[in-house]
A and B are shown apart, each in its own frame.
Chain A
């Protein structure tokens, strides 16, 4: 089939937008990461790899943010994936109830993140919050916590909010993946005498791998970029225990006016996300589905 050359013009708007809003900022960040630019003045100096050296050897808060981000990411990826998968298995059939439940589970996703942050900050409030009050009401006082004020658990409290916020989105991806699995395979498994668990392990899970890969990769990226939720709920506190890389970049750039250094952290951040996503794709091997 011959394609007219004029069709290439249609790439232009997308290419212009992509270059303007992605390529240009990305290369600018890379460029400024080797400078001491303060973000305001026109003058700056090249400082070589000083910013990178500082990030890895002379900035204990940045190192702490990497740890916080990993805790947050692992909690969110594991539990959000499991919750979404479990709920997807429950609502897989297209009954009226299930369609309603899917919409219900998806509902938090359409809320703005700042609204979600305010709702959950209120839920977590140690004195007036509904969570501690319910726990006390059902006799589980010992579980009542200072959810966002305790430096040891605040990051996990944020992770729970993130899971509530985005699990519905992942559920939809899983439902689509589950519905694409041919029914015959389950019939064969049944004839072969496979239990439900064996059918899940040998049929569902391998064929769901492409969906799982998307879910895990997307959840990972999402959890690294959970800036708005963290910013609105804790601002990185207490004692930097919920400071993640994204909020730290903001602090360094816009509160300390060290754009050069913030750019170097952004570049490191980008490399970390790319590396983790690559490793996940390799581990989940989504392209090797076998029957």
Chain B
């Protein structure tokens, strides 16, 4: 099942508008800095691919991408 595959995600901080959708969907992975209002990926940054696809799709500024790499 592709759903079990874990992927790494990254935030393009130039594009982030601080809407906080990622933080709502995946609070373990994303956190908004309250001063600069930009999201970043925190410690536990791996997500099942299906959930990563959702958060990539729901980010209003398309600032989130799956980092394709050999894990």
The answer to whether A and B come from one shared complex is: no
